[in-house]
Amino acid sequence: MTPAVGKKATGLIAATFTPLTPEGEINLAEIGPYVDYLLEQQGVKSIFVNGTTGEGMSLTVEERKMLAAEWCSKAKNKLENVIVHVGCMSLKDSQELAQHAGEIGADGIAVISPSFFKPATVGALKMFLQEVAAVVPAVPFYYYHIPAMTGVHLRSRDVLEGIDAEIPSFRGLKFSGSDLMDFGQCVSYSPSHWSLLYGMDEDSFRSSTYNYLGSSVNRLISAFNKGDLTMARTLQFQVQDILCYAMDCGFDLAVNKQLMSEVSGLVLGPPRLPLLPCPQSKAVSIARKLKQVLGVQ
């Protein structure tokens, strides 16, 4: 097979939540309405599924396959990019999910580092990534760096060194770390056809909060691109006001997921254990603040 070409990921990319029933089972029925909400209400055209926000590491391989297939099916001819996280503790499970993502037409795959038996060196990590990418050489490949969750603190810049020769399908990095020196060096090193997915960079913006703040952030970007810095700052401060309030309330994945339900009307259900459900009153309070700041009903 020829190496991946694919579309470069640009614009907002929402890290999606996984809809569950009250009993904790996968709820595929909400995915179609979820896609429509992102596109029509938030102007979000790309998604990252089965990642941290989607509780991917709490799902079985079969559940992740079902979800990936449904997201790709419902996003077809609507969204621009569906990037599926396929990383697992097991190389074989990661390869199985990668193969499946290729079969269902995913626009890209992302892989997290194993975190029980951790790679001791950059070389070991790159060997793992290479083995996963090799099963679907035509699918754009992203390394997902999130050291706070994996405990793997290898520098991403070192991982990127020469990676395009080792993984021809490599198309970028999802950087969810706090070491901005490392990220800055990644930006400096990266060729133009790669996408670096962070909170904010010049090509792509990736966040769970774009599930319900996408419209505001799209307006912010539009104002900035037009040179209207006054409007851009106003919108930026509004978003910051909402997120600061949320963090003061105690903002974790369970709260974030319940907040999305309150704002969107989608029935996303609780998180899966060991995460505990969010008290509805907390999410309602944050949703009220969001609507007050943005002036929406």
Mind spelling out the 3-state secondary structure of 44-108? CCEEEECCCCCCHHHCCHHHHHHHHHHHHHHHCCCCCEEEEECCCCCHHHHHHHHHHHHHCCCCE
Burial 62-76 (b: 16+ CB within 10 A, else e): ebbbebbbbbbebbe
7 classed as catalytic: no
Percentages (nearest 5) of helix, strand, coil residues in the chain = 50, 15, 40
Residue with tokens 């055209």: 45
Active site residue 45: no
Angle of helix 210-225 relative to helix 280-294, nearest 10 degrees? 20
Residue pair 122/113 in contact by the 8 Å Cβ criterion: no
CB 83 within 8 A of CB 101: no
Marked catalytic residue, from 144, 198, 210, 212: 144
Task: Establish whether 53 is an annotated binding residue.
Answer: yes
Q: What are phi and psi of 108, to 5 degrees?
A: -175, 160
Query: Which of 45, 65, 174, 257 is labelled catalytic?
Result: 174
> Tokens in use for 6?
């694919």
Binding positions for pyruvate are 53
Binding positions are 53
Active site residues: 144, 174
